[in-house]
């Protein structure tokens, strides 16, 4: 994804989906910034991962949508359950195997936060993560602090990921997340 797409489309989608959930229910759970994969490729030599040998030139990747909606790692992945993060939760090796992942080499449980990859990880991590958070926090704060809004002809389907078109997209017939402006709230 280009820097322009990553800096605009992903933040736009996150603010749009968050706005839908704020207006539709009291709790928010999910807005995936970009569903696309971030492949890694070693063109000159093979990689060895445990018992697997990955030939040169074969891309290896994951995508955050399937990681974040894996019901073994995150039971009821589309529900707003903030308690899932209390008490430093850990994922046991048996859970990882049930979720389709290889268990950790050291055999120890991994922090649940290890599986939150919304901004990527390592050398492919989003360089503007903090800017994106700032835009989302300020954008949502200003929008909902200054305006009384309500959803207009919008359903959950308009906020759910249906396709990956570089940026996240809802279903083809969607007119987007639409709201009615009820009134401007004066701030003293």
Q: What is the reported pLDDT for 166? A: 65
* 52/54 Cα distance (integer angstroms): 6
pLDDT digits (tens, 9 = 90+) for 137-158: 888 888 888 988 888 998 888 8
Q: What is the reported pLDDT for 32? A: 59
Ranges of the chain whose pLDDT falls below 50: 1-2, 4, 29
Q: What is the reported pLDDT for 2? A: 47
pLDDT digits (tens, 9 = 90+) for 44-54: 999 888 788 99
Apex 84 CA angle, 62 and 170, nearest 5: 50
DSSP annotation of 153: S
Q: What is the reported pLDDT for 144? A: 85
Backbone angles phi, psi at 29, to 5 degrees: -125, -55
Q: What is the reported pLDDT for 162? A: 72
């Amino acid at each position: 994804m280009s820097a322009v797409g990553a800096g605009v489309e992903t933040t736009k989608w996150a603010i749009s989906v968050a706005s839908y959930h704020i207006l539709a229910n009291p709790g928010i759970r999910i807005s995936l910034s970009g569903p696309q994969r971030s492949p890694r490729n070693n063109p000159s030599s093979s990689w060895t991962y445990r018992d697997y040998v990955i030939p040169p030139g074969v891309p290896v990747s994951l995508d955050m949508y399937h990681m974040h909606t894996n019901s073994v790692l995150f039971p009821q992945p589309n529900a707003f359950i903030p308690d899932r993060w209390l008490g430093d939760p850990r994922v046991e090796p048996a859970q990882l195997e049930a979720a389709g992942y290889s268990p950790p080499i050291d055999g120890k449980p991994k922090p649940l936060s290890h599986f939150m990859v919304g901004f990527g990880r390592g050398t492919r991590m989003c360089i503007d993560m903090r800017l994106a958070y700032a835009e989302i926090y300020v954008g949502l704060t200003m929008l909902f602090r200054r305006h009384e809004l309500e959803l207009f002809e919008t359903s959950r389907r308009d906020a759910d990921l249906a396709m990956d078109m570089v940026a996240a997209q809802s279903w083809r017939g969607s007119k987007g997340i639409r709201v009615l402006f009820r009134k401007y709230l004066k701030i003293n």
